[in-house]
């Protein structure tokens, strides 16, 4: 996965207050994080939909070791795909709206401003059989865990053939057994 | 490298270039028999392989449309991907991990040994361990299997050390770094293992045996073997006398050609091989070729499988080094007191972070799932592989409406676990967890079976023509010059990884075919 030009990681700050990661949206599709930690540009989805999906993505696979921008990058993949896929765009837009509707019913707040992670996850749980949820989840399996920049954060070293494999680099170096 | 005319009806045509087809083709060529291998996939050489799980998956996997049915979880989580096998020259020997184990003697005689198992379509093989011993010996030498022929075992990586320590604490004795067709030292013009990892993605050091690098080049060097990549066989043709005469295939541009043949050998793996026989139905053979028994496509086996992953409080780095780095064999025996017939092996396995996300708990999400991924560095893993029961209803059929890119019906793979498979998996999960708990696992996880890598049994070998598709030489009971040369011949699956047996059978079959040709019998 190459660096996405539509997502900027501005500082190393982890944004979240109570796990909330989107501070707001602005003109031109701008979506930005708390503490100005990251910013993304929604090219095809509207900024509010994009912002909701970023929050949903973190709630689906929450990793404190991952900067918020990784989730924004994953959503950006869908945003790009929505350009030539009207069905996908509708699914994402309506799905995000449904999250907000459920959240409003529960706490009189939008999904991405609902402060309890448990409440947000309960909404996701109620929708996990939906095509929309599975689309977001499936996208993250590759969009998050196949992002080469994330690999070192999980202790995964990736390609090794060009380094001569691990024959001289610790293939059997376990020392605690 | 040879090139044969499409109208040359003196050639042997082999469909597929994997463990069965690639070995058979090379061996026939070395015996002086003119041979054409038609391979549906492309030819990727060692330098083309990628240390990248998804990249490699897109490069070499068989991704043509397939459908699934039945109660197995693969049908739900990976409905279009029943099998995780390869479409490329070399077939699934590109992807395999290298484990090269002989069947145990009793496994050739499953029906006799296990007795009546309700719902299982068990049958004894028409061959036995004594018959196969010299062929196994030849295959082990050919493939350079460690712990045979004086070849040292591979060194164990950290993932193996965890398995070994736990297994020893439980009192297991048959624990070692396996019999592997991966060079522990340079041999047969191939290098020694560099512990790269990524065995499943095509070995980039050439240490792992595959038909791509170890057999096909030797066959080609004789001037008697032609391998045509990107050529998918659509139909086997026959004459009025009921002998096969050639195959219709499509090249990479979709243009169709007829290659005439004296003998046709089918080795397209256990989904495509029966599919080809069924798709070759004619007015003379309305149920498909070689299907007078009605067994073509039936008795599909995929081994009882499952994985156990465990998180420890310190790093393991299981992905470093050979993927299948060692084995515990104590549970491979037949011991019905455990509540099931047959046995299973426990073998280390590792997945990279991307595949762990996809396969640890397909569909899983949330904090619990994320915890496992957060602890990736501290994980150890093993694969459980054991004998599953052949069942007539586990079968490959032609889809009623779905067609492939050539307009032919796609295969449907229907599978239900047998009660014996479930009991064995439960036992194996428990023993796997016990191994890791014995060395301080923080938590263990039972990962369900991946899409099938060991696809077996759909053109099974039998003494009697009414019980199966091929005789003890892999020759179809119905058509003398039509053979099956892959794992679909398997009468039963045994506990062991199947490749060594497929190779041994192919070497033996080459001897038979060459002999019958010189006698003028085929």
Interface probe with A: pick from B195, B359, B363, B437, most Cβ of A within 10 Å: B195
Residue A4, min C-alpha distance to chain B (Å): 18
Under 8 Å CB pairs connecting chains A and B tally to: 119
Q: Please report the DSSP string for B18-68 in residue order.
A: SHHHHHHHHHHHHTT--EEEE-SSB---GGG--S-HHHHHHHHB--S--EE
- What's the pTM? 0.96
At residue A10, the pLDDT reads 57
| Average pLDDT score over chain A | 90
Q: Which of B313, B274, B286, B243 lies closest to B460 in space, CA to CA?
A: B274
Contact A156 B353 (CB under 8 A): yes
Contact B365 A159 (CB under 8 A): no
Interface probe with B: pick from A161, A170, A173, A175, most Cβ of B within 10 Å: A161
When computed from its CA atoms, the radius of gyration of chain A, rounded to whole angstroms, is 18
Residue B351, min C-alpha distance to chain A (Å): 10
Contact B196 A177 (CB under 8 A): no
What is the distance between the alpha carbons of residues B36 and B242, in angstroms, rounded to a whole number?
A: 22
Contact A176 B204 (CB under 8 A): no
Torsion of CA B151, B207, A161, B499, to 10 degrees: -110
What is the distance between the alpha carbons of residues B500 and B422, in angstroms, rounded to a whole number?
A: 26
Contact B196 A155 (CB under 8 A): no
Task: Write the pLDDT tens digit of every residue in A3-41.
Answer: 566 787 655 444 444 567 777 888 888 898 887 778 899
Residue B498, min C-alpha distance to chain A (Å): 27
Q: Taking the domains of chain A in order of start, what are their residue ranges?
A: 46-147
Interface predicted TM-score of the whole assembly (ipTM), two decimals: 0.95
Classify A97 as helix, strand or coil.
helix
Contact B157 A169 (CB under 8 A): no
Residue A27, min C-alpha distance to chain B (Å): 32
Contact B158 A173 (CB under 8 A): yes
Low-confidence ranges of chain A (pLDDT < 70): 1-5, 9-19
Q: Are B328 and B172 in contact (CB under 8 A)?
A: yes
DSSP at B446: E
Q: Are B270 and B488 in contact (CB under 8 A)?
A: yes
Burial category of B321 from C-beta neighbours within 10 Å (exposed 0-12, middle 13-18, buried 19 and up): buried
Residue B321, min C-alpha distance to chain A (Å): 5
At residue A9, the pLDDT reads 64
Residues of chain B neighbouring A171 (CB-CB closer than 8 A): 155, 157-158, 195, 320-321
Contact B156 A128 (CB under 8 A): no
Task: Write the pLDDT tens digit of every residue in B324-349.
Answer: 999 999 999 999 999 999 999 999 99
DSSP at B190: B
Alpha-carbon distances, residue A88 vs A113, A129, A133, B324 (angstroms): 25, 17, 12, 40
Q: pLDDT tens track of chain B, all 522 residues? A: 799 999 999 999 999 999 999 999 999 999 999 999 999 999 999 999 999 999 999 999 999 999 999 999 999 999 999 999 999 999 999 999 999 999 999 999 999 999 999 999 999 999 999 999 999 999 999 999 999 999 999 999 999 999 999 999 999 999 999 999 999 999 999 999 999 999 999 999 999 999 999 999 999 999 999 999 999 999 999 999 999 999 999 999 999 999 999 999 999 999 999 999 999 999 999 999 999 999 999 999 999 999 999 999 999 999 999 999 999 999 999 999 999 999 999 999 999 999 999 999 999 999 999 999 999 999 999 999 999 999 999 999 999 999 999 999 999 999 999 999 999 999 999 999 999 999 999 999 999 999 999 999 999 999 999 999 999 999 999 999 999 999 999 999 999 999 999 999 999 999 999 999 999 999
Given the structure tokens 């379509």, which residue do they identify? Answer: B121
Instruction: Please report how many Cα atoms fall inside a 13 Å half-sphere around the Cα of residue B327, on the Cβ side.
Output: 25
């Amino acid at each position: 996965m190459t660096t996405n030009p539509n997502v900027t990681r501005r500082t190393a700050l982890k944004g979240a207050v109570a796990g909330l990661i989107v501070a707001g949206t602005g003109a031109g599709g701008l979506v930005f994080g708390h503490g100005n930690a990251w910013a993304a540009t929604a090219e095809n989805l509207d900024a509010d939909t994009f912002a909701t999906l970023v929050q949903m993505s973190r709630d689906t696979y929450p990793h404190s070791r991952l900067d918020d921008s990784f989730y924004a990058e994953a959503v950006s993949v869908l945003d790009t795909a929505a350009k030539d896929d009207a069905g996908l765009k509708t699914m994402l837009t309506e799905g995000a709206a449904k999250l907000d509707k459920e959240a409003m019913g529960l706490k009189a707040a939008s999904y991405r401003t609902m402060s309890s992670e448990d409440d947000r996850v309960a909404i996701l749980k109620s929708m996990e059989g939906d095509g929309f949820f599975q689309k977001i989840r499936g996208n993250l399996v590759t969009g998050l865990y196949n992002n080469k920049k994330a690999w070192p954060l999980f202790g995964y070293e990736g390609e090794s053939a060009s380094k001569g494999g691990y024959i001289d680099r610790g293939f059997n170096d376990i020392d605690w057994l | 490298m040879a090139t044969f005319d499409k109208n040359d009806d003196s050639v042997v045509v082999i469909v597929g270039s994997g463990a069965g087809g690639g070995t058979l083709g090379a061996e026939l060529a070395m015996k002086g028999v003119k041979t054409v291998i038609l391979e549906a996939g492309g030819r990727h050489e060692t330098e083309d392989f990628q240390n990248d799980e998804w990249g490699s998956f897109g490069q070499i996997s068989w991704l043509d449309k397939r459908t699934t049915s039945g109660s197995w979880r693969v049908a739900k989580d990976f409905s279009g991907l029943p099998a995780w096998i390869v479409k490329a020259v070399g077939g699934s020997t590109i992807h395999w991990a290298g484990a090269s184990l002989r069947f145990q003697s009793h496994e050739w005689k499953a029906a006799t040994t296990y007795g009546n198992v309700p719902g299982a379509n068990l049958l004894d093989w028409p061959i036995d361990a004594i018959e196969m011993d010299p062929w196994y010996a030849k295959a082990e030498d050919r493939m350079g299997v460690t712990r045979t022929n004086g070849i040292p075992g591979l060194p164990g990586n950290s993932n193996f050390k965890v398995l070994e320590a736990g297994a020893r604490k439980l009192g297991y004795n048959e624990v070692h770094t396996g019999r592997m067709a991966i060079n522990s030292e340079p041999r047969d013009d191939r290098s020694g293992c560099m512990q790269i990892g990524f065995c499943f993605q095509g070995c980039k050091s050439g240490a792992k045996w595959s038909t791509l690098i170890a057999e096909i080049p030797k066959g080609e060097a004789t001037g008697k073997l032609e391998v045509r990549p990107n050529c998918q066989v659509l139909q086997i043709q026959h004459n009025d006398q009921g002998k096969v005469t050639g195959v219709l295939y499509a090249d990479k541009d979709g243009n169709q050609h007829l290659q005439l043949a004296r003998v046709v050998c089918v080795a397209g793996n256990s989904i495509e091989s029966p599919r080809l026989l069924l798709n070759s139905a004619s007015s003379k053979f309305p149920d498909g070729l070689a299907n007078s028994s009605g067994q073509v496509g039936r008795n599909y086996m995929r081994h009882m499988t499952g994985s156990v992953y465990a998180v420890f409080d310190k790093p393991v780095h299981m992905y470093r080094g050979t993927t299948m780095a060692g084995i515990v064999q104590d549970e491979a025996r037949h011991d019905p007191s455990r509540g099931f017939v047959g046995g299973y092996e426990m073998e280390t396995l590792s997945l990279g972070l991307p595949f762990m996300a996809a396969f640890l708990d397909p569909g899983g999400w949330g904090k619990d799932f994320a915890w496992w991924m957060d602890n990736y560095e501290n994980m150890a893993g093993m694969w459980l592989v054991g004998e599953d029961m052949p069942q007539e209803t586990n079968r490959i059929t032609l889809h009623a409406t779905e067609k492939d890119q050539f307009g032919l019906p796609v295969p449907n793979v229907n599978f239900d676990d047998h009660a014996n498979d479930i009991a064995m998996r439960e036992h194996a999960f428990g023993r796997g967890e016990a191994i890791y708990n014995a060395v301080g696992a923080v938590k263990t996880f039972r990962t369900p079976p991946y899409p099938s890598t060991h696809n077996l049994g759909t053109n099974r070998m039998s003494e009697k023509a009414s019980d199966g598709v091929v005789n003890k030489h892999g020759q179809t009971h119905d058509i003398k010059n039509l053979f099956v040369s892959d794992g679909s011949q398997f009468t039963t699956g045994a506990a062991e990884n199947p490749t060594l047996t497929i190779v041994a059978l192919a070497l033996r079959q080459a001897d038979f075919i060459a002999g019958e040709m010189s006698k003028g019998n085929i």
